Amino acid sequence: MFESSRGRAVAIIAGGLISLLSVGRVAADGVTHTVMPGDTLSGIAAVYSVTVDAIAGLNGIVNPNIIFPGDILNIPGMGGEPRSEPGLYVVRAGDTLSVIAERYGVTVSAIQGENGLGNADLIFAGQKLVIPSEPPADPLAALPADPPSDPDLEAIIEEFAAAEGLDPGMVKALAFVESSWNQGARSSAGATGVMQLMPETAAWLERDVFGYELNEGESVYDNVKAGTRLLRILVDESGGDIDSALAAYYQGQGATSAGIMYEDTKGYVRFVHGVWERYWR
C-alpha cells in the first residue's frame, strides 16, 4: 500500500469477508462514532447524512475500505446531532426500529427490551432510544477455520518472500488482509491488486528501485514482486522491526519514522499478526 499520509487497509476485506459495525456518541467538540462489527464507512456516512470523503478527510483515512472495531471517528458538521447524549439514538423521520437495529447490529427485541417498548412500530421522530452496547468483535473470529488456498498465488508469494528474505507466512497474511488475495481488488484510494499497491508507490518502485516498468495492475506476479520489495525496504528502514514495517506499509513511512502509530494502524498490525499466527506460523 505505502501512503505518504495516513492510510487504512479491511474494514471490509475482499468485498465483505469481514464487515465491521458502529455506535455514535457526543463529544465535547461534536459527534464521534465508535466503530463496531458490521460498520462500513459508507454506512456510517449514510447514517449521519454526510459523505464518505468528508469523514475520511476529517479523520485522515486514506483507504475508506478499512476500519476496525474500536476506531473512534469524528463526524463532520454534526454539532450535537444525531445524539443528544452518549449511548442514545435520536429517532429521525422515516426511521423504523428494524432499520435502527440493523444499523447498530443489534436485534429489534434488544432495543425494545432496553427501552421498554411494547410495539416495535410505535416510535416517533425526536424520541431517544438507548442502543444496547456490545463489546467490539474480534475480527479474527470472522475468519474461516481453514487457511485460504491458492497454490499458484502462494507459489508466487513464496518465491518473492524467499528472494527478499521475508517470512512467507507474514507476506501471505499481509496480502490476505490487504486484498483477500484478490488481484481484482481496487480501493477507493486507487490501491490495486493482491498487496494493494498505490499507483504512485508502484511508479516510484519502477523508476527508482527496479529501473523498469511493471504491470502490477494486471499481473499478480508483478504486483507481488513490487509489494514484497516494498516490504523489504520498509523492514530495512525500520531496523528489522516487523511491526514498524507493517505499520509503514499501512499508514506510510513518514508518520512511522516520526514514531507515530495511529490507533487504526495498531489494529491493522494486530490483525496481520493474528492472520499470520492462525494460518502460517
Domain locations in the chain as residue ranges: 22-135, 142-280
Grid cell, residue 201, equals 508507490
| pLDDT at residue 1 greater than cutoff 70 | no
Among all chains, which residue has been given the C-alpha cell 529501473? 211
- How many whole angstroms separate alpha carbon 52 and alpha carbon 128? 26
Omega cis (within 30) before 82: yes
For the chain, the average pLDDT equals: 79
| pLDDT at residue 126 greater than cutoff 80 | no
Say what the pLDDT of residue 193 is: 93
Say what the pLDDT of residue 276 is: 96
Average pLDDT on 237-248 reads 95
- Helix ranges (DSSP H) in the chain: 41-48, 52-59, 97-104, 108-115, 151-164, 168-179, 199-204, 220-237, 242-251, 253-257, 263-280
- How many whole angstroms separate alpha carbon 31 and alpha carbon 144? 35
- Which residues touch 111 (CB under 8 Å, ≥6 apart)? 97, 100, 101, 117, 129, 130, 131, 132
CATH of 142-280, one of 1.10.530.10, 3.20.20.70, 3.40.1280.10, 3.30.230.70: 1.10.530.10
What is 22-135's CATH number?
3.10.350.10
Q: What is the pLDDT of residues 258-276, one digit of tens each?
A: 888 887 788 899 999 999 9
Q: Which tops the pLDDT comparison, 126 or 231? A: 231
Grid cell, residue 128, equals 431517544
Which whole-number Å values give the CA distances from 75 to 37, 43, 235, in the listed order?
18, 13, 35
Say what the pLDDT of residue 162 is: 98
Question: In 3D, which of 63, 79, 83 has the Cα closest to residue 22?
Answer: 83
- Which residues touch 158 (CB under 8 Å, ≥6 apart)? 168
- How many whole angstroms separate alpha carbon 163 and alpha carbon 175? 17
Question: In 3D, which of 254, 250, 253, 273 has the Cα closest to residue 263?
Answer: 250
| pLDDT at residue 15 greater than cutoff 50 | no
Say what the pLDDT of residue 70 is: 74
Is residue 65 within 8 A of residue 12, CB to CB? The reply is: yes
Q: What is the pLDDT of residues 70-105, one digit of tens each?
A: 788 888 765 434 433 446 787 777 788 888 887 777
Say what the pLDDT of residue 173 is: 97
